[in-house]
A = this chain, B = another copy of it.
Amino acid sequence: MPYLAELDTPAAIVDVARMRANIQRMQTRMDTLGAHFRPHVKTTKCLPVVRAQLAAGARGITVSTLKEAERFFAAGVTDILYAVGMTPARLPKVLALRRQGCRLKIVADDPAVADAIAAFGKARDEAFEVWIEIDCDGHRSGIRPDEKERLIDVAQRLAGGGMRVGGVMTHAGSSYELDTPEALAALAEQERAGCARAAGHLRDAGMPCPAVSVGSTPTALAARGLEGVTEVRAGVYVFFDLVMHNVGVCRIDDIALSVLTTVIGHQSAKGWAIVDAGWMAMSRDRGTARQKRDFGYGQACAPDGAVLPGYVMIGANQEHGIVASVNGTDERIAERFPIGSQLRILPNHACATGAQFPEYHALHADGSTEVWQRFHGW
């Protein structure tokens, strides 16, 4: 149970109280809006975090890789949506998981993939559950809600081949580019309406569409209603980050992930403190560069988590970060942040920063920490 001062740096610190508050906020919201909640575990890839999400009321999980599915199924989670378009070469792994009892759902948006899934499943007497991906905002994959014929074609190829069409799903990824409550609420409504409309097309064609799944952290927190939606997915809300702060869905003090770092030098004339967290620790994510406030590679905080206004990581090499004031040269930087002292850096993007670390150090209210393993790779 080491305290922060005893940890090797850089280290990824999870403020457990903040994390629990973030989880509760989202779950309460979903309970109020009448939708199930299926957290996206790609953000953390960490069992204690996912257990906390499930304990708070989440129903199943979303994964971005089959490795995530395998690891969390091995830990007892059975209701899993693999939310990246299926490619035929991955079907044997999907089959293996289902044969072990995993209620793994896969995603498709293409007639040829639907045929491949149906052919593979039929040959092995496996009725794969497939959710059809809907493109609600043009940002990535999916069938647009107005592409009714393509949507029904994909569904019929699946159903005709003996597969189970489990529903429709979409992700309003363009929400990350917004920063006003009105724009977020409008996109949330567009996401809801588009996905519900797609479900309507299937039902009108005589096919069931049990699941209507939407979500991104910003739209989940901005939606004013979820009529026709059965479940919501979100990932980064569990930690939040500076990008989400700029989007407008969290306070800086809600951010539960930080990188603990040690001051290793100075360039006093320039007002620089050199720290031992570079881009290898923070990741190369510069998501706030395009937003209303650019936090460089991250916002500096004191070891107790208090924000140090104006001090950000202005530059990063692989294992060196440069922390400086954005309000002019601080010539007393070496006194302010002496060599050997610690800082905590809030990240631009919690998913990217977490991925740089083999483990989190969960920070409890009494100041003690414990290791929470996370995995990486595919």
Contacts and interface: CB of A to CB of B under 8 A. Distances in A.
Interface of A: 8-11, 42, 64-65, 84-89, 109-110, 112-113, 116, 135, 140-141, 173, 262-267, 274, 276, 279-281, 283-286, 317-320, 322, 338-340, 349, 351-352, 355-359, 376-378
A258 B92 CA distance: 26
A357 B67 CA distance: 13
Nearest to A173: B317
Contact of A141 (B8, B65, B112, B274): B274
Contact of A140 (B113, B274, B351): B274
B318 A351 contact: yes
Given A141-B267, A356-B376, 14 more contacts: A64-B280, A85-B274, A86-B264, A87-B262, A87-B339, A113-B265, A116-B340, A140-B322, A173-B317, A284-B284, A284-B286, A318-B351, A358-B376, A359-B377
Nearest to A263: B87
A265 B376 contact: no
B8 A340 contact: no
A355 B280 contact: yes
Nearest to A86: B264
22 contacts: A8-B378, A42-B319, A64-B280, A85-B265, A87-B340, A110-B265, A110-B266, A110-B339, A112-B339, A113-B339, A140-B274, A140-B320, A141-B264, A141-B267, A141-B320, A279-B285, A279-B352, A281-B378, A283-B284, A284-B352, A358-B377, A376-B376
Contacts of A356: 355, 376
Nearest to A355: B280
A285 B86 CA distance: 27
A256 B115 CA distance: 37
Given A274-B140, A377-B357, A340 B283 contact: no
Contact of A319 (B84, B339, B376): B84
Contact of A340 (B89, B286, B319): B89
Contacts of A113: 265, 339
A232 to B, nearest CB: 18
Contacts of A352: 279, 284
A276 B263 CA distance: 38
Contacts of A140: 274, 317, 320, 322
A141 B85 CA distance: 46
A348 to B, nearest CB: 9
For the complex of A and B, list the 3 residue pairs with the smallest distance between their C-beta atoms, beginning with the closest: A284-B284, A358-B377, A284-B285
A378 B319 CA distance: 10
A280 to B, nearest CB: 6
Contacts of A109: 265
A276 B339 contact: no
A141 B321 CA distance: 10
A364 to B, nearest CB: 22
Nearest to A281: B378
A304 B158 CA distance: 34
Nearest to A11: B378
Nearest to A377: B358
Contacts of A280: 64, 355
Contacts of A263: 87
A42 B340 contact: no
Nearest to A375: B358
A283 B9 CA distance: 22
